Amino acid sequence: MDFFAQLPIMSTYALHLGASYMLSGLIVGAYSFSNMFSNIVSGQFVDRLGPKKVLTFGFLLNGMILILYSVVHTPTMLLWTRLAHGISAGLLVPAAFTFISIMNQGNKKGKAMALSGAAVGIAAIVGPAFGGAVTKLIGAEWVFRIIGIGMIVSSLFSSFILPNRKKERLTNARSNVFQDYIILFKKRGLVFAYVGALSLMFSQGILAYMLPIKVENLHLGSHISGMLMSVFGIVAILLFLLPTNKIFDRYKNEYLMIFGMALIALAQISLSFASNLNLLFFIMGCYGAGFAMLFPSISALISLHSASDERGKAYGLFYGFFSLGSFAGSSLTGAFSMTPAEGFRTAAFLLLVVSISIILFLKRKSQEKI
């Protein structure tokens, strides 16, 4: 809810505080920039202190920073708050998933991870609609205040209810960390996954920045941005849960990845031209379908092409590229003062170039085998 509720309002919130298009793009992307480093560093605190302490402190700090959003009155203050928010949020995710892993050993782990994924999916649907609706009714400041208070309450629950467990230390940790990461980049499947993650979130960063501006330019109201974001999430989750999910076992992940990128690129191009509300809803549904094809396929590539003793590092890099892509997407389009149409077409161009490059690479490899 913290992240998704801000998607439809952050760029316009920055503009209303007097930020330029360039600065507002940096503000939107600043969260992902600082969050990228925070996720990596916070894992060390989780190992040293245990997930409960980090989770409790992360909730409290994140709640305080969210409330701070509601009192800033200059773009510069908003930028610094956004950077601090990325750092505090980076404490939560490693601690939460480490706690789930420790508390659900054996046969229960898969179910627990599925439930955590469902929680994220619900937030992706409810969050944008909540952010847009609250902004429409009582102002954007109350979006930050309500979620911030919820975070502080969650900190109290974590402190008193959750048992204190420390993550088991690895006894076979390697000494040359840099060399371990270099090895990961030598595996073709992992490189595909990292390029896919970077491209997906570059597109997502542009969408988060440009869609609210596009909607505002069409005089449709900020709550429409939230509804459009929610449609994208609903379609993606339906494709995960319905019998359509059998395609993930039937077709190669590389092909599903290419198809998902192409579908998202088509949706981005269509967004650059669309001016009708019904058409916008249809396009966001197509975007959600592309996301549903792309995200599981690149996630599966990580699992398939990494050994058990390097999977943590592989997934760490994976989410690092996620944050980097989101930051680059919103920041670069803001830096070049692109219009929404130009931003959407830039995202589509990148996705199409990556898709074609992967197709040519796979074709060349298949010819070499022959």
Looking up residue 139, the CATH number of its domain turns out to be 1.20.1250.20
167 pLDDT higher than 70: no
* Distance in angstroms (rounded) separating the CA atoms of residues 323 and 123: 18
Of 258 and 125, the one with more pLDDT: 258
What's the pLDDT band for 324 if we cut at 50, 70, 90? confident
Residues 161 and 179 in one domain: no
Classify residue 246 by burial, with Cβ atoms within 10 Å: 0-12, 13-18, 19+.
exposed
Written as six digits, the tokens of 56 are: 């409790």
Q: Which amino acid is at 367?
A: Q
pLDDT at 148: 94
> Last residue of a domain, which of 108, 141, 166?
166
Rounded average pLDDT over 182-191: 85
Helix/strand/coil (H/E/C) assignment for every residue in 47-113? HHHCHHHHHHHHHHHHHHHHHHHCCCCCHHHHHHHHHHHHHHHHHHHHHHHHHHHHHCCCCHHHHHH
**Could you give the angle at the alpha carbon of 180 between the alpha carbons of 174 and 183, nearest 5°?**
145
Residues 119 and 181 both lie in one domain:
no
Give yes or no for a contact between 1 and 127, defined as CB atoms under 8 angstroms apart: yes
Same domain, 216 and 81: no
Domain range enclosing 339: 175-370
Distance CA 316, CA 214 (A): 34
Domain check: are 160 and 180 in the same one? no
Q: Supply the pLDDT for residue 258.
A: 92
Q: What is the mean pLDDT of residues 79-92?
A: 90
Under a CB-based contact definition with an 8 Å cutoff, are residues 202 and 325 in contact?
A: yes
> Does residue 231 sit in the same domain as residue 350?
yes
Task: Read off the amino acid at residue 311.
Answer: R
Same domain? 154 vs 181: no
Do both 326 and 195 map to the same domain?
Answer: yes
Which helix (H) or strand (E) segment holds residue 36: the answer is: helix 21-49
Domain stop point among 113, 135, 166:
166
Q: Does residue 118 carry a pLDDT above 50?
A: yes
**Overall number of domains in the chain:** 2
Where among 166, 196, 218 does a domain terminate? 166
- 183 shares its domain with 305: yes
How many other C-beta atoms lie within 10 A of the C-beta of residue 16? 12
Q: Both tokens of residue 79?
A: 């930028």
One domain, residues 12 and 59:
yes
Torsion from C-alpha of 54, 72, 24, 36, nearest 10 degrees: -10
Q: What's residue 65's pLDDT?
A: 94
What's the average model confidence in pLDDT over 154-183? Answer: 67
DSSP state of 31: H
Nearest-angstrom CA–CA distance, 223 and 233: 16
Judge if 289 and 313 occupy the same domain.
yes
- The burial of 310, by beta-carbon neighbours within 10 Å (0-12 exposed, 13-18 middle, 19 or more buried), is given as middle
Whether this prediction's pTM lies above 0.95 is answered by no
Indicate the pLDDT class of residue 247, thresholds 50, 70 and 90.
confident
Residues 190 and 307 in one domain: yes
12, amino acid identity: T
Residue 114 is predicted with a pLDDT of: 46
Asked if 281 and 201 sit in the same domain, the reply is yes
